[in-house]
Amino acid sequence: MAETILVTGGAGYIGSHCVLELLQAGYVPVVIDNFHNAIRGTGAPARLHPRAGLGSGAPHSPPSPGSEALPESLRRVQEIAHRPVIFQELDITDEAALQELFRKHRFSAVMHFAGLKAVGESVQKPLEYYRVNLTGTIRLLETMKAHGVRNIVFSSSATVYGDPKYLPLDEKHPVGGCTNPYGKSKFFIEEMIWDLCRAERDWNAVLLRYFNPIGAHESGMIGEDPQGIPNNLMPYVAQVEPPQPLGVTGRGRRRWGSTGLSLCAGGSGTPRVPERLWERLQDGRWNGCVTGRGDLGRGNLGFPDPALTLCVPTGVRDYIHVVDLAKGHIAALKKLKENCGCKIYNLGTGTGYSVLQMVRAMEKASGREIKYRITARREGDVASCYADPTLAERELGWKAAFGLDKMCKGIPSLARRALPAPCPPSPPLSSSR
């Protein structure tokens, strides 16, 4: 009999891709989400996607009852997988609703994605992040315990490492020196789960420290499509001019990048780059700092102030394709079967790319120029962060398969197939990962 897996925050970017992988691997996912970072479905019944499925001869299940109430991402997951998705609108801070959910289903494990997740916003709203992420997780763990569910895969983050002491980051790197409340909330949750596994030996947990998920499913039907102004690089880059006012409902969506992309830098005034630095800046190799006044040369980025205070640690990150990440969760579920106790794994590629390199890769994938300007670094960010993923390869049998070009390939397609215009967001309780 197929195992039933609870997926919290499963209508979000990573969660929806994991739901798809669960379906295709033969599991029965039950998804909860509160629509904080998900889009409500259009109301049209789900149709089966002709290019996707489980292979020839696979049974084509009809849409689940009430599929019109599904989040748009999960409606599309149904189309791709040819499988119904069980969904309930629910907030993980609602203890009574969680208890009722666990009475209705016999879960073998939980994949926990739900939580607020924007680094910059967490600096501005720390109490909200602690309340939602910590309180929601405590109530989830208490409910799991009450109903005898002792297996969890937790969506953690490389932000728990704080400012790296060395690179690449392995799982032995010190944690807890987080630079923002979002990262701290992930660290605190890791500590809670560790303590629970030490105190009660029948618990098993796999804590997956993500680096920077990007990309979209090859169908172009699901991917990162946040409500409001994107907090992550790639969905913002995908919406930079020229605008694409097309959606599946025929309604236009606002393109947040219509005035160009802002890349991290420090200081004030105009970033005008001296000739000798321009080539290195363009291909993403420049990671230093220069001040003074100089000739415009090729470095004129079109701003009027001649003063230069330019810092370009444009952010070196380990970008990982979201499908690779989702497959890592399936590997983690299998690890739980070994009664593994509490295990931690980095999920990354082991290669760091600068933001400018990512912009260049997106230009290549989309076939168009992407406008950008240099601005101040976002508060709470670290300059460079990339993984040593060898432990996951050795113990989970998992390794990232997508290279940079393939990671970027599906994003322009997703932007052209934009999801419907979002409804007003619900109060920011627990959100989709």
Q: Which residues pair with 423 in a beta bridge?
A: none
Residues marked as catalytic: 182
Rounded distance, CA 255 to CA 251, Å? Answer: 12
Residue 316: phi and psi, rounded to 5, are -95, 125
DSSP annotation of 247 reads: B
Residues near 387 by beta carbon (within 8 Å), at least 6 away in sequence = 158, 168, 169, 170, 209, 211, 318, 346, 347, 348, 349, 350
CB atoms within 10 A of CB 296: 13
Residue 179 is encoded by which pair of tokens? 């630079």
Rounded distance, CA 84 to CA 82, Å? Answer: 7
Residue 307 is encoded by which pair of tokens? 């003063």
Residues near 52 by beta carbon (within 8 Å), at least 6 away in sequence = 79, 80, 81, 82, 219
**Where does residue 172 fall: left (phi above 0), alpha (psi -120 to 50 degrees), or beta otherwise?**
alpha
First to last CA, the chain: 29
